[in-house]
Amino acid sequence: LSTSLGAVPALAAEPAAAKPSEPMNIPHLAGTAKIDGVLDDPIWEQAHKFELIYESRPGENTPAQVKTTVFIGENGEHLLVAFVAEDPDPKQIRAFLRDRDSAFSDDFVGMNLDTFDDQRRAFEFYINPLGAQMDVIFNGNTGELRRVGAPRRQHPERADP
């Protein structure tokens, strides 16, 4: 399993910087996490933490303009991923409540899972600051993006920073 995590500018122990070419060990997390947008559960202390040092939009793998920290782990049943995005100017965040898979013009964070480890296909999952979800399957052979519609749990209310 290969992962790639990214952020768009308005979204964001000392975390290490992510290096895209290095494999990531995903730790097993004991306990449960309340999915509410607040990372105060003890389980998150066990997660692997790192900062995103690159963004993919508007630049292509350019240095990140805002600090975004990622927390990742698994609990034997689920892959748990959380982002803490620290925008110095929250009024500039671009986000709207939208239908699923229609928020690609907003600011968002997300991850790509290369489950075949062939660097050609990936499941891509993204979310904007208001909880609009986007997911696609990318086929690097054809450049095709296909909607996934993968089920995900999220808290119905937005957590205030």
* Cβ atoms of residues 29 and 13 within 8 Å: no
**pLDDT digits 0-9 by tens, 65-106:** 889 999 999 999 999 999 998 988 888 878 777 766 666 777
What is the model's pLDDT at position 144? 67
Stretch among 10-19, 54-63, 93-102, 143-152 having the lowest mean pLDDT: 10-19
From the list 106, 105, 113, the residue with the least C-alpha distance to 152 is 113
What is the model's pLDDT at position 19? 53
Q: Could you tell me what percent of the chain has a pLDDT over 90?
A: 23
Other CB atoms closer than 10 Å to residue 102's CB: what's the count?
12
Instruction: Please tell me which residue, 93 or 16, carries the higher pLDDT value.
Output: 93
What is the model's pLDDT at position 117? 86
From the list 112, 110, 144, 151, the residue with the least C-alpha distance to 128 is 110
Give residue 12's Cα distance to chain centre: 10
Instruction: Please tell me which residue, 153 or 63, carries the higher pLDDT value.
Output: 63
Instruction: Please tell me which residue, 71 or 20, carries the higher pLDDT value.
Output: 71
What is the model's pLDDT at position 57? 72
* Cβ atoms of residues 13 and 134 within 8 Å: no
Q: What residues does 55 pair with on adjacent strands?
A: 62
